[in-house]
Amino acid sequence: MSKLIGNAIFGQSGGPTSVINASAAGVITEALKSDCINKVYGAAHGIRGMLEEKFYDMSMEDPKELELLKTTPSSALGSVRYKLADPDKDPTDFNRLLEVFKKYNIRYFFYNGGNDSMDTCNKVSKFMQKVGYECRVIGVPKTIDNDLYGTDHCPGYGSAAKYIATATMEVYHDARVYDTPMVCVLEVMGRNAGWLTAATALASYKGAGPDLIYLPEIDFDMDKFVADCKRVYEKNNGKLIVAVSEGIHDKNGKYISEYGSDLAKEKDSFGHAQLGGAAQVLASVLKKELNCKARAIEFSLLQRCAAHCASATDVEEAFTAGQKAVQFAVEGVTDRMVAYERTTDENGNYKCNYVLVNLSEVANTEKKVPREWITEDGTGLKKEFIDYALPLIQGDSRPPFENGLPRFARLKKVLATK
């Protein structure tokens, strides 16, 4: 394929993570080095910034600050939840993007996000092909939910899993300090896929985890739940820790959080229910059924951007995924997402290869925890999951510290001009 000379734009979308900025650092630093890319733009708040012609000139940033992005949590350029319409029904946004791309000679489009972001990436790619505008489009994966199709795991998951397992172990020790009964219900993120909640099994692997784990892959039965809890509570002399995904639902598809809250009735721009509150509902049930103190603990936003407890493996893989996206694009690849392929080195140790998958296959397709990795009674994880997750949480990554506090990247964010 012929050499394509032009400018590049990079955007971040969806929920932030501990390592999404590591991918940003990979894309930006690699693009700045390329002799095919003249200018590198960073979009303010993802696709919205592109539509509004608001993006930053990344060449104006201090290289040291770009390096610090590797250990800076959240989305440094700003994120967004904006659903592009079907271009065949409403091409307004796409025509506007084409106008902006032509104005700034943008020939490389890199978009960093999860399921919905890959949907955006796919739509942009297909539209540019349809109108005959040469622009190489590459998706850079990101999601702590670990539910992207076509990749062994997702950037952000290893760090979130490490934080969840660590926090669960700490709760375990805290909850067992008194000689009185104590029940804790931990609520972990996860709408339709239970990968994050499954990470609490890593704490159990170390002897300090939940007694029972419930994932959205299996319909939730309240009567069975109460019976499970009573059995363990009595066996453990009044001690019980339960971990649940925020997205657990009954056989009719009703979220357990809806049993006691109106939150799940609210929808975002992609039509997803706002979840949260399942632990509180279940803690209230257990308080009544067991006649004891029951505490609900929501890990909430804390699990997404815990850079102080990040996985070095996750950080390095996320950074490399960003670099590979640029390298693939410059080589002529388009309409693809960078994905992880698990393999082993010559010594049999875990190794990650970087491969490509079609955007159309990834967009809006969810990968769930295999049923065979979940115990037959649906209350725990098997060794297959532990073997899968352990390599992803290896190594410690922390930002540098100043005066006892983390030093995160401070970008100038100089607006690009034409």
Helical H runs in 34-114? Answer: 46-51, 63-68, 92-103
In our burial notation (b when 16+ CB lie closer than 10 A, e otherwise), range 62-75 reads eeebbebbbbbbbb
Integer CA distances (angstroms), 377 to 193, 219, 392, in order: 18, 12, 27
Could you tell me which of 159, 147, 80 has the C-alpha nearest to residue 114? 147
In our burial notation (b when 16+ CB lie closer than 10 A, e otherwise), range 140-171 reads bbbbbbbbbbbbbbbbbbbbbbbbbbbbbbeb
Catalytic site includes residue 145: yes
Q: Would you state the structure tokens that stand for residue 84, as one six-digit string?
A: 């592009």
Integer CA distances (angstroms), 364 to 11, 148, 189, 322, 347, in order: 18, 8, 18, 21, 37
Distance CA 284, CA 108 (A): 52
How many helices (H) and strands (E) in the chain? 13, 15
Which of 93, 116, 119, 145 is flagged as catalytic?
145
SS3 158: helix
Distance CA 371, CA 385 (A): 11
Distance CA 286, CA 22 (A): 42
Could you count the other beta carbons within 10 Å of the beta carbon of residue 23?
32
Helical H runs in 57-156? Answer: 63-68, 92-103, 115-131
Could you tell me which of 79, 71, 76, 7 has the C-alpha nearest to residue 39? 7
Could you count the other beta carbons within 10 Å of the beta carbon of residue 13?
28
The 294-298 sheet, strands edge to edge: 212-214, 239-245, 182-188, 294-298
Strands 294-298 vs 182-188: parallel, antiparallel or unpaired: parallel
138 backbone dihedrals φ, ψ, rounded to 5°: -130, 130
Chain-centroid distance, C-alpha 140: 12
Q: Would you please indicate which residues are annotated as catalytic (active-site) residues?
A: 145
